[in-house]
Amino acid sequence: MTIPIVKRYLIALGLYKWVGVATFTVAVGVSGIVALQPTPEAKHLIVGLMTAIRPPVLFSETGSKIQEQAATVTPEMLFNNEVRDLVAQEVLVDPRKLETAKLIVKEGVYSLSYEDTNAEKAIEVVNALMEQIVQQSRKINTTYQRSIIEEVNKRLPDATEELKQAQEKLEEFKRKEEAVLLTSRAAALPGAIGASREQQRQIKLQLDGVEAQINSLETQLGLNTDQAYVARALAADPIIANLRVELYTVESELDKLLLDFRDEYPPVVELRRQKQVVEQQLQQRAAEVLGGNGIAAPLRKVEQIRVDASLDPTRQQLAEALISLTTQKEQLQQQLKTAVETEQEFEAEYATIPNKQLELTQLEEEVGIKKSRLDRMQSTLEDAEAAEAEITSSLTIAQKAAIAQKGETTEKSIPLMLAVGGLAGIVLGGGLIFVLGMLSGKFYTWQEIKTALQEKEVPLFGLLPDVMLLESALDLDEMPLLVEHNSPYLEFYEKLRTSLPRQGTQPVKVLLFSSAAKGEGKTFCAYNLAIAAARSGKRTVLIEADLRSPSKVQSLKIVPHPHSSLEPLRYYSDIGDCIQQVPEVENLYVIPSPGLIPQPGGILESSEMQRLLADCRHRFDFVILDSPCVTQNNDALMLEPYTDGMIIVTRPHYTVSGMLAEVIEQLTSDEEEDSTKYVPKLLGVVVNGAEIPVEFPLQPLDDFVDMSGPQIGDSPRARIEATASKV
């Protein structure tokens, strides 16, 4: 048995063999072109050496710095495009060829290498390059020395001007501020500051004593200052005192009457009214006393007013003392604030004297810094000018250019290169065919479909083989079906029927056929399963529910109703008119499709279609519905609730893995999903056109035609030609 991956590759090889042939041809052609190219001349490697040098005596600091700077120069700085262009003009060489030359530095030794087919010319080029690199080193050192001189000359006038401005600013400050510093009241200000601090200390002591008395009075009274003010004001008001007495008298009389009479007694009602009036007057008066005109003060409760106004004379004196001490405390706090502000003014005035002295010192230091900077710049300029005589190159030629390695010419083997190209073409072509086969997304064997269904946990009900019929049994205008009694294929469809799951104790009675896409043979399988069920003695009806395609009942020697497409609802409403018996197959009935109906969803959802399905369920033993593809419309999903479940038909070479996975995901539910959502009942999947053995009667192989290879919608002549080519 062939391994599945090998079988898949062989199928992909049959489909994309021309891609492999083209890849092989291109690879052999490229290798042939490379083999026919002329053999390049041998190149010689030329090498020259340079070393770093240092002058024996340096008298200037700038010269020493330049030599230190030379150690940091990179090979890219020494061997740049300017050097290449100058040498190219000197030795008459293309500058682009000099880009292959390499300058490498290792342990202070500069190695310059260059390859060329002409050894003498290469030696001349390397010697010229080394001389120019030595000159480039001296140029870099000179540029550094010149940059120092230019930079100092550029900054020297500004430094001189800054020193002049600093000196003038110092002299001007001395003329203005020196007299002030000598005649200031430096001796009087410390005494004033001390006196202010002593005054603050005395005020703080008085403030501490007043706060202690306030705390003691608040403890004795049980009131704070605000509460004491309110209680004193209310207790001293004669109107509030009279209202309190009047309120007490009314309450006493009311309590006496309530001992003998009820609340409804007129005198009791009158006393309550008087009490309410007195309380309102008491609240109004308290607001007037506390808030002046009674507007600003909030309305206090009567009980609180009576408590606040009940101060005795002794407590009134304590409240007055508390209020007086609070006033004294506020005065002392204001005096303390004034003393602090006075001290701050004295300190600010006294602080200006050291600041002026500090400013004088800063001006003197600034003059010294600017003078020192100017002196250093002048010294650096003199040193850099003196170092001009010491500038030399930091490199010297240690070894002239010489041949380091002679080039050797190797002959190409044309047969070997063609063989390598052919092998590469075979590998690339085979890999490209394998990749194209994997990227197609189609299943090529029924084993691949079975594996995909196992991953999705969807049952596989049956394998239906390639159907091959006698060429004499074909009619070019009809779809060939398994109407012969002794057809070896009916056994597979009978096995599919008996493999359907049972609903409790009852078998599946109404079955819906659909597929993921066109060309997978769902109509062919539905017809043949109906024939197999009728042959087994089941009273079977086949309903063509695909209202988007023409009817196929001509293959069963049946003529569709001529006017069914004009009034489809009326057609489906009369089962006696729409149902027809198949003459060649006993127990088989067909309800042909009206044909191409625009917007068939309304027909499938109509009450006429529902009554038709219910009537067929009652009259027949087995009902098969052939519906459109699931991915193209929702016709199959609208019919499924009126059936016992649906079967998806797949087919190698036609079924796309991604499309099948999408259909299975749409027709299966997850436990975590909403249980109230209706999910179509997917019974399982069948594989049509599977490569499985079938026992044929002893007849010539040339008399058979493959009926499951081409699509159902293809013409019979196309199916015969496709099958004949396959056989």
Q: Which contacts (CB < 8 Å, 24+ apart) does range 527-530 have?
A: 527/479, 527/481, 527/552, 527/555, 527/556, 527/626, 528/464, 528/467, 528/481, 528/482, 528/489, 528/490, 528/493, 529/493, 529/496, 529/497, 529/624, 530/588, 530/622, 530/624
Cβ pair 625, 602 in contact under 8 A:
no
Q: What's the rounded mean pLDDT across residues 445-455?
A: 84
Spatial separation of the C-alpha atoms in residues 606 and 594, rounded to whole Å: 15
Q: What is the pLDDT of residue 30?
A: 76
Spatial separation of the C-alpha atoms in residues 223 and 230, rounded to whole Å: 10
Q: What's the rounded mean pLDDT across residues 501-505?
A: 69
Q: What's the rounded mean pLDDT across residues 32-47?
A: 71
Tokens encoding 465: 């083989």
Burial, 15: exposed, middle or buried (Cβ in 10 Å; 0-12, 13-18, 19+)?
middle
Lowest mean pLDDT among 19-23, 86-90, 710-714: 710-714
674-706 per-position pLDDT tens digit: 556 677 888 889 999 888 888 776 555 444 444
SS3 342: helix
Q: What is the pLDDT of residue 687?
A: 92
Spatial separation of the C-alpha atoms in residues 13 and 431, rounded to whole Å: 10
Look at residues 521, 536, 406, 543 and name the one whose alpha carbon lies nearest to residue 465: 521
* Sequence-distant (≥ 6) Cβ neighbours of residue 426 within 8 angstroms: 24
pLDDT band at 512 (very low <50, low <70, confident <90, very high): very high
Spatial separation of the C-alpha atoms in residues 331 and 104, rounded to whole Å: 91
Q: Considering the chain, what is the average pLDDT of its residues? A: 77
* Sequence-distant (≥ 6) Cβ neighbours of residue 302 within 8 angstroms: 279, 282, 283
Residue 656 has pLDDT above 80, yes or no: yes
Q: Checking phi first, is residue 504 left (phi over 0); if not, alpha (psi -120 to 50) or beta?
A: left
Query: Which element (helix H / strand E) includes 689?
Result: strand 682-690
Q: What is the pLDDT of residue 92?
A: 82
Cβ pair 377, 50 in contact under 8 A:
no
371-403 per-position pLDDT tens digit: 888 888 888 877 777 766 667 777 788 888 888
Cβ pair 88, 132 in contact under 8 A:
no
SS3 397: strand
Q: What is the pLDDT of residue 345?
A: 77
Whole-number Cα distances in Å, 481 to 103, 316, 469, 628, 653: 85, 123, 9, 20, 22
- Listed by start position, the domains of the chain span 4-39+411-439, 193-330, 446-726
Pairing, β 622-626 against β 510-515: parallel
CATH class of 446-726: alpha beta
Lowest mean pLDDT among 43-57, 184-198, 630-644: 184-198
Spatial separation of the C-alpha atoms in residues 132 and 415, rounded to whole Å: 48
Query: Which element (helix H / strand E) includes 62?
Result: helix 61-70
392-444 per-position pLDDT tens digit: 777 788 888 888 777 665 556 677 777 777 777 677 767 776 666 665 567 87
* Sequence-distant (≥ 6) Cβ neighbours of residue 657 within 8 angstroms: 441, 442, 443, 448, 452
What is the pTM (predicted TM-score) of this model? Answer: 0.45
pLDDT band at 531 (very low <50, low <70, confident <90, very high): very high
Cβ pair 694, 489 in contact under 8 A:
yes
| DSSP for 554-610, written as a single string | GGGT-PPPTTTTTSHHHHHH-HHHH-EE-SSSTTEEEE------SSTHHHHTSHHHH
- C-alpha 294: how far from chain center: 69
Tally of CA atoms within 13 A in the half-sphere of 517 that contains its CB: 15
Residue 720 has pLDDT above 60, yes or no: no
DSSP state of 683: E
- C-alpha 521: how far from chain center: 44
Residue 477 has pLDDT above 70, yes or no: no
Residue 563 has pLDDT above 80, yes or no: no
Cβ pair 396, 134 in contact under 8 A:
yes
Cβ pair 536, 584 in contact under 8 A:
no
| Total residue length of the chain | 727
Cβ pair 529, 496 in contact under 8 A:
yes
Whole-number Cα distances in Å, 277 to 265, 290, 489: 19, 20, 113
pLDDT band at 713 (very low <50, low <70, confident <90, very high): very low
DSSP state of 296: S
SS3 276: helix
Q: What is the pLDDT of residue 717?
A: 38
SS3 258: helix
Spatial separation of the C-alpha atoms in residues 58 and 387, rounded to whole Å: 8
pLDDT band at 623 (very low <50, low <70, confident <90, very high): very high
Burial, 72: exposed, middle or buried (Cβ in 10 Å; 0-12, 13-18, 19+)?
exposed
Spatial separation of the C-alpha atoms in residues 694 and 611, rounded to whole Å: 41
At residue 48, what are phi and psi to the nearest 5 degrees?
A: -130, 150
Other Cβ atoms less than 10 A from the Cβ of 581: the count is 13
Look at residues 103, 40, 124, 121 and name the one whose alpha carbon lies nearest to residue 407: 40
Q: What's the rounded mean pLDDT across residues 563-591?
A: 86
pLDDT band at 625 (very low <50, low <70, confident <90, very high): very high
Q: What is the pLDDT of residue 435?
A: 67
116-147 per-position pLDDT tens digit: 877 788 888 888 888 888 888 888 878 777 78
Determine what percent of the chain is predicted with pLDDT higher than 90. Answer: 9
Residue 540 has pLDDT above 90, yes or no: yes
SS3 246: helix
Which of 288-302, 358-372, 453-467, 606-620 tops mean pLDDT?
606-620
Q: What is the pLDDT of residue 622?
A: 94
Spatial separation of the C-alpha atoms in residues 597 and 602, rounded to whole Å: 10
Q: What is the pLDDT of residue 719?
A: 44
Q: What's the rounded mean pLDDT across residues 293-313?
A: 63
Q: What is the pLDDT of residue 526?
A: 93
Spatial separation of the C-alpha atoms in residues 235 and 229, rounded to whole Å: 10
